[in-house]
């Protein structure tokens, strides 16, 4: 299998992706010394680099005069003379593809290294007010992303996924699509209506497999909206919350109705649609019993190298086992079964467990929908999960349903940093880099915590080759 970005299933979205990437770079107009910051794939990783510049290291014994004819043949000029370490910087005409020429030059026997002049960034702290705890928020709501022991909820410092740390490496890529199979997204008159979920270049509206209403994948329950915000809300936009993979795109597929009900058929159809239409990661925060219909969908995604992140269920402490499709993790390496932890890094009491459990992630305490639960987007109109006192636009919910999109977002970050990773590799990375929380008693795996609590930074930072900063342009 080749990298995800070059696989055949991606071809339906190639043109749209290129347009989105171009729009993202041009709309931000970020520059260094007058050179535009661009994004692209270099040696299997997404990078940011300066337009029209290539850094070169000459082979030992080669001097600047030796490479002048080669550079001139490509229309290049020397911007910085080659120094005592044989390093120099060349400048290219506007029409020249930096990445393509760098790859060509590095194969020349005169040249030891040729690479884009890549961009680095200072530490990133998104300006979303409910993440920051700035007005209109009065405290930092998203403890699952960055837990400092803030009050409320008074949790344990670092009982989080290390989001600020991973965002210094990548905020995700608009070439990566996370499919959310759930109850939909806020729509008014068919248009995206939520201030954190309203970018038409980011959110792809797929089919409705449960109600098939005239108004498309409108979320009348609120569950899908909450899940979507956790995974990939618009981030650093001065509004609302931050998403785990803020630069990733989202494919919205409706498989639950306003009552939260779906079918095995809807799951199957949703998975097949997502796979066939370019999804790189699938999130399914639901489940129930096994069936041949459900397993066929898992097999289909597995054969086409698409990971499925699924919640383990919320029926404990009554003894409920891991539900399906999450329980298919025992048989299919593309399935990641996700349980929930609270703000103190303790397994949430409702979170189903068993040998099939892969990893746990912040899902909330789960009692009263307050600050010890997970804060995310909700519809900007009445919805069935609204409940007494739940505000429009944003609110608290808890469950393994909230834990799963944290993991789906991290899978998106991994593929953004290295699009060549297979579902099995993504799962292994998440397992091997999870934090071994105290409740695991020093064990590498337990039926209550799986391989530990998700750590986004360690997952992305562990990539081989190590991930390079990929930038923070919101596509």
Catalytic sites, residue numbers = 182, 223, 401
**DSSP class per residue in 162-204:** -HHHHHTT-S--TT-EEEEEES-B-EETTEE--TTS--TTTEE
- Helix (H), strand (E) at residue 297: helix 292-303
* Cα angle 213-216-219, degrees, rounded to a multiple of 5: 95
Beta-carbon count within 10 A of 60 CB:
7
- Helix (H), strand (E) at residue 362: strand 359-362
d(CA 187, CA 175): 24
Q: What is the DSSP code (8-state) at residue 96? A: S
| Secondary structure of 145-166 as H, E, C letters | CCCCCCCCCCCCCCCCCCHHHH
State whether residue 261 is helix, strand or coil.
coil
* Cα angle 316-317-322, degrees, rounded to a multiple of 5: 30
* Cα angle 438-144-146, degrees, rounded to a multiple of 5: 95
d(CA 418, CA 62): 34
d(CA 155, CA 197): 28
- Helix (H), strand (E) at residue 358: none
How many CA atoms does the CB half-sphere of 316 hold within 13 Å?
Answer: 21
């Amino acid at each position: 299998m080749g990298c995800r970005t070059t696989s055949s299933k991606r071809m339906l979205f190639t043109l749209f992706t290129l347009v989105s990437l171009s729009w993202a770079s041009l709309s931000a107009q970020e520059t260094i010394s007058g050179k535009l910051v661009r994004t692209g794939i270099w040696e299997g990783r997404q990078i940011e680099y300066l337009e029209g510049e290539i850094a070169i290291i000459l082979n030992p014994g080669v001097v600047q005069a030796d490479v002048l004819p080669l550079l001139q043949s490509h229309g290049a000029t020397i911007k910085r003379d080659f120094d005592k370490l044989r390093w120099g910087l060349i400048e290219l005409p506007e029409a020249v593809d930096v990445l393509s020429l760098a790859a060509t030059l590095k194969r020349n026997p005169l040249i030891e290294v040729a690479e884009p002049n890549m961009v680095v960034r200072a530490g990133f702290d998104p300006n979303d007010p409910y993440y920051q705890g700035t007005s209109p928020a009065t405290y930092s709501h998203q403890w699952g992303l960055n837990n400092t022991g803030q009050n409320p909820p008074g949790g344990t410092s670092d009982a989080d996924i290390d989001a600020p740390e991973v965002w210094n490496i990548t905020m995700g890529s608009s070439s990566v699509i996370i499919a959310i199979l759930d109850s939909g997204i806020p729509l008014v008159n068919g248009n995206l209506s939520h201030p954190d979920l309203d970018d038409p270049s980011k959110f792809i509206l797929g089919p409705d497999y449960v109600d098939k209403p005239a108004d498309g994948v409108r979320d009348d329950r609120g569950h899908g909206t909450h899940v979507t915000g956790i995974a990939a809300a618009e981030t650093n936009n001065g509004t609302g919350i931050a998403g785990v993979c803020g630069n990733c795109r989202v494919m919205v597929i409706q498989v639950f109705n306003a009552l939260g009900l779906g079918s095995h058929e809807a799951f199957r159809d949703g998975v097949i649609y997502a796979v066939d239409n370019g999804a790189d990661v699938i999130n399914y925060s639901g489940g129930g019993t096994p069936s041949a219909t459900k397993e066929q969908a898992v097999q289909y995604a597995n054969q086409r190298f698409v990971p499925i992140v699924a919640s383990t269920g919320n029926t404990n402490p009554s003894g409920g086992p891991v539900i399906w499709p999450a329980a298919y993790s025992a048989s299919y390496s593309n399935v990641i079964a996700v349980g929930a932890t609270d703000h103190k890094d303790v397994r949430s009491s409702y979170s189903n467990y068993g040998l099939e459990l892969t990893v746990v992630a912040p899902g909330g305490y789960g009692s009263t929908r307050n600050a010890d639960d997970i804060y995310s987007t909700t519809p900007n109109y009445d919805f069935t999960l609204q409940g007494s006192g739940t505000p429009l636009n944003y609110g608290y919910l808890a469950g393994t349903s909230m834990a799963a999109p944290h993991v789906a977002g991290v899978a998106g970050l991994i593929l953004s940093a290295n699009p060549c990773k297979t579902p099995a590799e993504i799962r292994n990375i998440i397992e091997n880099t999870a934090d071994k929380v105290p409740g695991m008693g020093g064990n590498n795996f337990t039926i209550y915590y799986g391989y530990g609590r998700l750590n986004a930074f360690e997952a992305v930072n562990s990539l081989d080759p190590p991930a390079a900063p990929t930038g923070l342009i919101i596509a």
